[in-house]
Chain A
């Protein structure tokens, strides 16, 4: 039961996370001209690097979360 609940939570979380990331990737909620340059670095590069930081956190959660789910399933 615990494994099944964990799996459902993981699937919902993965779907939501991917949806938000894709929306941000396609500039769905990005105000025009935002962000401005930071330390001389063009705002476009800053925005993409920030997105990559967010995506990296999501990826770390998926990798860890999948393993945790697998271990719960094995038990």
Chain B
């Protein structure tokens, strides 16, 4: 197994950061210190915590795989709208989320909205929705780790054993150092996968004789990959527009992203992260798409999902067999930087929103974390056995998160918003999404997420206006001093 030392070094570095974070933890500060790093994440840690959490193996494996078939249009479909939408939503909702969280003493995203609306029912509904949409995502990450380690070890390590190793390491450093550990491991992980992706594209372009020669060959051999073809279903204008809406609004609704915004060290730290975000996304997405498109020249004939394996193939070709392990490390880094945040956030919601009476002290908080890790692995086993399409589940999860957006945004930005409005929005939005997804209602060329989002938004506003406004004193407590 070539590069076993690199894999061992990576795991050891993650554990060392977890141990260091545990040593730095302010004693007696409780849940705010463990789950939110004392609401004091510095700009570098905050930026990488957001970026690493946001970028999962989907970008490293799924995007090159899609670009392999659909060409450079995949860049236009995703990167520009993400580079604008993510920082805008982070800024628009992150500033009030942090301020309101501190004012209300909220630690988890569900707790924040529940306390803002003075409704435990809303907290429970959000916990259920967040869990429903986050767990499939966690399983996807575990699968990515398992497949990467199985491929690297040439089958010596099974996918199940690989997933278990990655989960145990991620659990260990998260267990030790909480949010601070996951933020600083994300610095290393983000830099690692970004560096590998960029280095791979540069080496590939060098092998193809430079960018001009590489694109000339693309235009001559595969001209259809060098343009955006509006006749392909995913690029048709209505699908293109609805997809843009979904990916713009979904990321800020990931509970594992929102909790990082709540942990920011202040407005300036968040502003700097927002300024860096588009640059980092461009640096990641250009190579990811380039690897897929140019990989189609080097490795033609991969059908269907087989193209998801184009990234490790190109890494090995471009960087050489000795450095092929870097492809495995990049996938592990991208998967674990998302997985650790998900473990921590679901653990915090379990202890703060569902079983608060049992969460006495850090020992209990950490037990909840282990419980979430165990549940994720059991579901991973079940999914493997039942052959469930994780891609389909992940697609539903992305659309599902968008249905949470009206509740989240209005709770943080609109004083007149009520708990009844939140519950109606969640219920009607998800029901409409299911109806459009199943084809019970005509989508007219739009993806189901667009009409369902409009229903969720209308329900949130309409039912809020028709229901009793929340007590003025409570609203003033939540909003006083909030950014406007």
Contacts and interface: CB of A to CB of B under 8 A. Distances in A.
Interface string A40-75: 111111011101100110111011001100100100
B70 to A, nearest CB: 12
Contacts of A40: 211-216
Contact of A21 (B75, B84, B226): B84
Contact of B79 (A48, A63, A66): A48
Contact of A39 (B72, B212, B278, B282): B212
Contacts, number: 82
Interface stretch (B237-245, B385-393, B400-408, B445-453): B237-245
Interface of A is mostly: helix
B226 A52 contact: no
B275 interface: yes
A55 B80 contact: yes
A55 B216 contact: no
Contact of A47 (B76, B226, B484): B76
A6 B476 CA distance: 23
B73 A44 contact: yes
Contacts of B280: none
Contacts of B75: 44-45, 48
B292 to A, nearest CB: 13
Interface of B is mostly: helix
Interface string B202-242: 00000000011111101100000011100000000100110
B227 A44 contact: yes
Given A41-B215, A44-B227, A62 B484 contact: no
B80 A51 contact: yes
B79 A59 contact: no
B483 interface: yes
A55 B213 CA distance: 30
Interface of A: 7, 21, 25-27, 37, 39-45, 47-49, 51-52, 55-56, 58-60, 62-63, 66-67, 70, 73
Given A41-B215, A49-B282, 6 more contacts: A39-B211, A42-B218, A48-B76, A56-B278, A59-B87, A59-B278
